[in-house]
Amino acid sequence: MDKEELSKKYPKEEDKLIISKIWDKIEMCKTKNKITHTDFLDLYQRSIAEKLVDHIKSIFYGGYDGAERTVLILYPDKLEQNIIENTYTDIFKIIRIKLPNDLKGKYQHKNYLGAVMKLGMKREKIGDILVREEGADIVVLKEAAEYLKQGLSELTRFSKSEIEILELEDLKESENKKEDFTIMVPSLRLDCIVSELIRSSRTKANEAILSRTCFY
């Protein structure tokens, strides 16, 4: 599907902007015959991107298999996917935060994300945040790694933490934890249920639903 056709399906300005940015990367890959990549895309943005790349070699990758936030990597026909995988270290870095003993287990995903946002870091430069008892690993675009490390080190909440930049191969995935809880919904509409589960608005819930289902 081309840019103009897809833009008609997504009339919102923020969607049109995503489409335009992705299309520019596609054109750069084709005209300059070189590897290009986007910033991180959320699930909804990825569902849009997938409709644009059916005519070009591409990979969605977020630093590990099953990542929620991914980068779209575009590459010329002459290259094979295994060659592209060797370039991941030129795209991604890991920011590891190791908490002091008195803070272990006390920080959740929202605490780390809030810290990143406080620094004024654009969300699209940050991938998944993988939280563990002793801290977290943040997947980040290489060009933003040094800025993020320095900024986090200056925040009070991380003043006693060890923060370092690591390679993608050093990534540690989150510890799986299960939690039982009860929700109350005004109706059995899917968007109402999802809204309560992800603790967000029904608008965001609908975007989450669309990101999982709209792949036509």
- Segment 146-192, tens digit of pLDDT: 999 999 999 999 999 999 999 999 998 765 555 566 777 787 788 78
Edge-to-edge strand list for the sheet holding 58-61: 36-41, 70-74, 58-61
Percent of the chain scored above 90 by pLDDT? 62
Domains of the chain (ranges; CATH) run 3-89 (3.30.1370.160), 91-170 (3.30.70.330), 179-216 (no CATH)
For residue 97, is pLDDT > 50? yes
Rounded (5°) CA angle 203-6-70: 65
CB of 107 closer than 8 Å to CB of 152: no
pTM for the full model?
Answer: 0.79
Residue type, 58: S
Task: Report how far residue 142's alpha carbon sits from residue 92's, in angstroms, rounded to the nearest whole number.
Answer: 5
pLDDT of res. 194: 77
Higher pLDDT, 167 or 215: 167
- Segment 112-143, tens digit of pLDDT: 999 999 999 899 999 999 999 999 999 999 99
Edge-to-edge strand list for the sheet holding 126-132: 126-132, 135-141, 92-98, 162-166
- Segment 25-79, tens digit of pLDDT: 999 999 999 999 999 999 889 999 999 998 889 999 999 999 999 999 999 988 8
Q: Which long-range contacts (CB under 8 A, 24 or more apart) does 184-192 make?
A: none
- Average per-residue pLDDT for the chain: 87
Residue type, 150: Q
pLDDT of res. 10: 84
pLDDT of res. 215: 37
